[in-house]
Amino acid sequence: MTVARPSRGFALAATLAAVAACSGEPLATPATGPQLPTLRLQPRIAELKATAAQRSVPSDAAQKELRDLGDIALQLVESDERTGMLSTRSLIEHPAAWWILEPALAHERAEVRQRAAWLCGQSRQTVLQLPLLLRLKYELDPPTVVWVADALARLGNDTGLAWLDAAIGVEATAQAAGSSAIEALKARGVTLAEQPTWDEVRQGLRQQHAAWLQRGASSLSDAPAPEAGQLAARLAQHLATTEGTQLRPVDDARYVTVRAGVLGVPLLTHILDASEPYLRTMALQVLADLGAVAKPAIPAILPLLGDPLTGSYAVRTLGLCGASEALPFLRPMLQGTDLELRTAAAQALGVLRDEPSRAALRARLLDLAESMDVRVSAAFGLCCFGGETEAAAYLAEREAKKDYHQQTLARLREQLAAIGPTAK
């Protein structure tokens, strides 16, 4: 798990900031920025655990009924056609169908996982998006991936559309993925030719998925909202794993919450004031990945600009979610003494395309005494405006000389590509 740490020499500042936060005293942005909103931290991990523990469990009688229905509907036992159809329908309509379907998604046999995914999609229990997303992360069987992606699409999570698009490009799964894709697109009101080409179908999938990334919600109008208690309990269970030291549960939590779109934003916003730094960090990382979908969290992010532990994460998140209202706080950071804040601010000001900051970004790039972290970020920030050949050349030189972290450069290139043609 990656946890933000204070820069060397800021231990005392961190202590003073924590005291100020607990006492309710306002924290000021470094340099000459306006006064930040008050940061008041409070424990949240116990609250998450309590919410996770409130996840409802079917009664003993209901559990027995669900096991019997599941054995038949999942085709774990033999039955006649009529019994199979009745059991399948009864399981799909059962309000606690999730109790039997979720563990079945991890069954050792691929055909059972496929059947479970299909039943999830038919159940209309949209809270099953979360276990389906986790299955998508680990599933290695290509045909099963198609079933899981199809189920997600039926439940209104358009993450599945990107996986259907990819599966169409593989001969072994093209037909099944194509059929699912056509049905998903028609359900979203997309007009297709009577016999659409693969290119037409894939273009429709990409357009719908791009819209999902911007909105965090599907254009599938008839998908019901997840049951609030079940959703909160599942999300809380994922986020509570950040307390531990095992990397996989933390990565699972981030994977699922990022791909859940708007569903996780309220809870992520709620834990931004957590006194546990790992919770604040996780929330900021996920909200940054969500981009524009995270806009409702902006007011809760602003106080964290004064937090020595997560301030740079907050800067990056504000940039990626399009928080132009944060510009008065971000501009002075480019001249501040904190290296991490200068680096993050250079990127955020570029992503926000803050024209008044262009000259300051160029000055940071051309300053030979400046840290390479800041210079690379300034070059990236300038490239966000477009037409900055010197900045583009600087990034290209770093890639050619391999004198800077290549994964960071690759991530910045991906962001530039996502921003749009004017940033290339």
Distance CA(363)–CA(109), nearest Å, equals 60
Give which of 257, 330, 322, 326 is closest to 291, Cα–Cα: 322
Torsion from C-alpha of 78, 81, 82, 85, nearest 10 degrees: 90
Question: At 180, which helix (H) or strand (E)?
Answer: helix 171-187
- CATH of 60-215, picked from 1.10.3470, 1.25.10, 3.30.70, 1.10.357, is 1.25.10
pLDDT at 140 over 80: yes
Q: Where in the chain is the domain with CATH 1.25.10.10?
A: 274-423
pLDDT in tens, 362-383: 999 999 999 999 999 999 999 9
Q: Any idea which architecture 274-423 has in CATH?
A: Alpha Horseshoe (1.25)
Please list the residues that pair with 274 across neighbouring strands: 42
Q: At what angle do helices 339-351 and 358-366 cross, to 10 degrees?
A: 130
Task: Give the type of residue at 177.
Answer: A
Give which of 99, 42, 48 is closest to 73, Cα–Cα: 99
Contact 348, 315 (CB under 8 A): yes
Contact 351, 381 (CB under 8 A): yes
Phi then psi for residue 166, to 5 deg, are: -65, -40
pLDDT in tens, 213-223: 999 999 998 89
Distance CA(350)–CA(360), nearest Å, equals 11
Q: Which two tokens stand for residue 31?
A: 């340099």
Average pLDDT, whole number, for the chain? 91
Report residue 137's pLDDT band, with 50, 70 and 90 as the boundaries. Answer: very high
pLDDT in tens, 20-51: 344 343 344 445 678 999 999 999 999 999 99
pLDDT at 146 over 60: yes
Distance CA(155)–CA(138), nearest Å, equals 19
Least confident of 6-15, 276-285, 318-327: 6-15
pTM here?
0.89
